[in-house]
Amino acid sequence: MDTNFSGHIPELYDRYPVPMLFAPFAADIARRAAALAPSHVLETAAGTGAVTRALARALPAHVDIVATDLNQAMLDRAAMTPIGRIVTWQQADALQLPFDDASFDIVVCQFGAMFFPDKTAAFAQAHRVLRPGGAFLFNVWDRIEENEFAGTITGALARLFPADPPLFMKRTPHGYFDRGVISCDLAAAGFDAKPRFDTVTQRSRASSANVAAIAYCQGTPLRNEIEARSGASLDEATSACAEAIAARFGSGSVDAKMQAHVIVVQR
């Protein structure tokens, strides 16, 4: 269920969470990628293309960009947005990448590692397709306590569904933040170099508390958990979360802290 980005989710994901949560970090990771001066770039877990579009803007025209995702529906949505250059969109499982060894200068992954059922296997695939000296550049969300909208949403849903609270946000997006664990997984995948970590804080902004609630409750797999429970409908859960956000961050436009770790490790 955590990796089920289908139905209405791709459209709502692209409309709400992308500008609110992912675009600021996409610009950051694209800047870091450009500084590495690659010629061949692979993106895994590309989603609806937030990072792909940022890479397209940041990288010279001669750079080849291949963007992959497990969910074809997300790539279909990504391909609908003009990007201004040739990008290869390809459905692919990060745990079984369909590319030759040593094919890419960098592998980029924004907020995808948390969803990999076998992180070491996914990292080993990134290691395999990288050329010697290439870099694996990715980011993961920090703990939920450092991400104010996510924490507020999770708390509101726990009050609404006390017997069986939806814990998708804490379990998956914000469940892979420990630097020691990440370092061990990278080492087990074959990365001998010590990874470099950079904790980045951004602001998450939405035009209203309701928009923020829709982003989380309807534009992510949290929607699947809400719809699987009785006691409140998806709309009722969204309204409860909007009320919690408004109570904490005020009426009108809302603004909250979000934080992530950016990791780069060389092959």
Integer Cα distance of 239 and 98 in angstroms? 43
Type and span of the H or E element at 78: helix 72-79
Question: One-letter amino acid identity for 184?
Answer: C
3-state secondary structure 125-192: HHHHHEEEEEEEEEEEECCHHHCHHHHHHHHHHHHHCCCCCCCHHHHCCCCCCCHHHHHHHHHHCCCC
Q: Specify the pLDDT at position 9.
A: 73
Instruction: Report d(CA 26, CA 91) in Å as an integer.
Output: 20
- pLDDT at res. 14: 82
Spatial separation of the C-alpha atoms in residues 27 and 200, rounded to whole Å: 12
Looking at residue 127, its amino acid is: H
The rounded distance, in Å, linking the Cα atoms of 21 and 218 is 14
Instruction: Report residue 146 as tokens.
Output: 């450092």
* Alpha-carbon gap, residue 209 to 54, rounded angstroms: 27
- Which of these, 43, 90, 92, lies nearest to 63 by C-alpha position? 43
Cβ neighbourhood burial of 120 (10 Å; 0-12, 13-18, 19+): middle
| Nearest of 84, 110, 109 to residue 24 by alpha carbon | 110
State the 10-residue block means of pLDDT for the chain, 267 residues long.
Answer: 60 84 95 98 96 97 97 90 93 97 98 96 98 98 98 98 96 97 98 97 97 93 94 96 97 96 98
What domains are there in the chain, each with its CATH number? 9-266 (3.40.50.150)
Q: How many CB atoms neighbour CB 181 within 10 A?
A: 11
Contact 241, 145 (CB under 8 A): no
Rounded to an integer, what distance in angstroms lies between the CA atom of residue 119 and that of residue 25? 21
pTM of the full predicted structure?
0.93
Cβ-based burial of 251 (10 A; exposed 0-12, middle 13-18, buried ≥19): exposed
Between β-strands 254-266 and 196-206, what pairing exists: parallel, antiparallel or unpaired?
antiparallel
